Amino acid sequence: QHFLDRIEKHDGSLNSFITVTADIALAQAAEADAQIAAGTAGPLTGIPMAHKDIFCTDGVKTSCGSKMLDNFISPYDATVVEKLKAAGMPMLGKTNMDEFAMGSSNETSFYGAVKNPWDTDRVPGGSSGGSAAAVAARLAPITTGSDTGGSIRQPASLTGITGIKPTYGRVSRFGMIAYASSLDQGGVFARDAADCALVLSAMSGFDEKDSTSSEEENVDFTSSLDKSLDGLRIGVPKEYFGEGLDEGVSTSIKAALEQYKALGAEIVEIELPNTGLAIPSYYVIAPAECSANLSRMDGVRYGHRCENPVDLEDMYKRSRSEGFGSEVKRRIMVGTYALSAGYYDAYYIKAQKVRRKIKEDFVKAFENVDVIMGPVAPTTAFKVGEKKDDPVSMYLSDIYTLAVNLAGLPAISVPVEPVAGLPVGLQIIGNYFDESRLLNVAHQFQ
């Protein structure tokens, strides 16, 4: 009830929720009370949370931030939803997001922009901007997110909270609406690493319903939070401190590195030479995959259908023209072009080769270091509207986050010293399936 009251009172100015499920939350809270009374409660029983509206929720609208799915009530729960429900976490609602998770500012949502609680003239980041703003404004202690190219880490950074993107395959993608399937990964937002560890432990695990789900053994990510960082080797890529990085952000990140030194860690300068190729390869691969994934939104099986179609083609055309916003259409066009005969080798295959190079950079770096640190984003939260009509400048703001998804690695954003009253996130990148260490390193800082 406390959180529902706060949503009622504050979300009018933030717009972080698309749907509030008060009845469901209160009924689940009552069940949690009963479990607590019976002594059968787990560590998360009764802790409220909210899901990014990309996760399918049985009987509850699942819009993915799009007019296309404005009328879609999912007939089943995503695996993540099922797992957190089973852990006893009441669902407060579904959070706002960029349309189909495409964006870095939460301005492409059909439901309007989300505002940053630190300054409502500024964006909260995207695409999981609603989930980040809700935790930052204390409208929910925990929210879920998805990260295809930074959508958990960047909004966490811009709103001063903690957000973790696990290794690709760690968290089931079943029921998480697909944007770019080889990059998409579900994760969690919370106030700190310890809370993230608790929830990630409940979310993770092999799922036979997701063919890319990892069979890696599930771990209790809370068990190593208190380990000492003595002797930890931190790689700092020089490419992450070049042109385009805001001076204040750079100073704040360097101060955080000094604190890690004081905790016993050793700083090692490393190279990730293909960093500059992450944006061009990502912005071919992600649109290519999205153009295939979004072909299912045809007005036939579900979603928006135009009025009075004259024939099938007219129905496809008008349903999709009306249902998708301009950023989604731009991605579909870029992706279709990159996949078309004659261009496939020149763009898509080339981008896949570059992706391999980017991954190899990280594999090599991890032969010598335990974690890699740098900024999450080149600036603090920018103004609403500032980059909205300039897609290229919006894409450039993803410079430090995309490579992690191309390589499939886990990474976390940890709030460090703010700049001019606005939050800054330190990015900690880990080796494959090394989330325990990431959470431990993040926890020791706080």
Cβ nearer to ligand GLN, comparing 21 with 293: 293
127 contacts ligand GLN (rule: CB under 6 A): yes
For the CB of residue 372, give the shortest distance to ligand GLN in the complex, in Å: 19
Distance of CA 196 to the CA centre of its chain: 13
Cβ nearer to ligand GLN, comparing 32 with 56: 56
Q: Which residues pair with 94 in a beta bridge?
A: 19, 51
Of 228, 176, 170, the C-alpha closest to 200 is 170
Which residue among 150, 237, 325, 378 contacts ligand GLN (CB under 6 A)? 150
Cβ nearer to ligand GLN, comparing 144 with 148: 148
CA 13, CA 122: separation in Å to the nearest integer? Answer: 12
CA 378, CA 354: separation in Å to the nearest integer? Answer: 23
Catalytic residue among 127, 131, 172, 204: 127
Which residue among 11, 398, 434, 435 contacts ligand GLN (CB under 6 A)? 398
Backbone angles phi, psi at 3, to 5 degrees: -70, -35
Catalytic residue among 151, 157, 201, 436: 151
The site for ligand GLN, by CB under 6 A, has a size of: 13
For the CB of residue 107, give the shortest distance to ligand GLN in the complex, in Å: 11
* Residues 325-344 interacting with ligand GLN (rule: CB under 6 A): none
Peptide bond into 13 cis (omega under 30): no
52 is catalytic: yes
User: Would you say 376 and 153 are in contact if contact means Cβ atoms under 8 Å apart?
Assistant: yes
Cβ nearer to ligand GLN, comparing 129 with 235: 129
CA 258, CA 278: separation in Å to the nearest integer? Answer: 28
Which residue among 92, 196, 253, 286 contacts ligand GLN (CB under 6 A)? 286
User: Which of these segments, 15-23, 141-149, 249-257, 269-277, binds ligand GLN (CB under 6 A)?
Assistant: 141-149
* Residues 93-122 interacting with ligand GLN (rule: CB under 6 A): 101-104
Which residue among 117, 149, 323, 430 contacts ligand GLN (CB under 6 A)? 149
DSSP codes of every residue in 14-74: H--EEEE-HHHHHHHHHHHHHHHHHT---TTTT--EEEETTB-BTTBB--TT-GGGTT-B-
CA 242, CA 190: separation in Å to the nearest integer? Answer: 30
Amino acid at 159: T
* Residues 178-237 interacting with ligand GLN (rule: CB under 6 A): 179
426 contacts ligand GLN (rule: CB under 6 A): no
CA 273, CA 280: separation in Å to the nearest integer? Answer: 15
Provide the pairing of β-strand 371-375 with 422-430: antiparallel
127 is catalytic: yes
Cβ nearer to ligand GLN, comparing 127 with 157: 127
For the CB of residue 207, give the shortest distance to ligand GLN in the complex, in Å: 20
CA 270, CA 362: separation in Å to the nearest integer? Answer: 10
53 contacts ligand GLN (rule: CB under 6 A): no
User: Which of these segments, 85-93, 149-157, 222-230, 318-326, binds ligand GLN (CB under 6 A)?
Assistant: 149-157
Q: Which residues pair with 19 in a beta bridge?
A: 94
User: Would you say 279 and 351 are in contact if contact means Cβ atoms under 8 Å apart?
Assistant: no
CA 208, CA 177: separation in Å to the nearest integer? Answer: 17
79 contacts ligand GLN (rule: CB under 6 A): no
Distances (CA, A) of 77 to 173, 236, 409: 12, 40, 26
Cβ nearer to ligand GLN, comparing 156 with 232: 156
129 contacts ligand GLN (rule: CB under 6 A): no
For the CB of residue 227, give the shortest distance to ligand GLN in the complex, in Å: 30
Residue keyed to tokens 């061009």: 280
For the CB of residue 15, give the shortest distance to ligand GLN in the complex, in Å: 19
Determine the Cα angle at 407 with ends 402 and 409, to 5°.
90
Residue keyed to tokens 């606005």: 422
151 is catalytic: yes
88 contacts ligand GLN (rule: CB under 6 A): no
44 contacts ligand GLN (rule: CB under 6 A): no
Which residue among 151, 159, 201, 274 contacts ligand GLN (CB under 6 A)? 151
Q: Which residues bind ligand GLN (CB under 6 A)?
A: 101-104, 127, 147-151, 179, 286, 398
Active-site residue numbers? 52, 127, 151
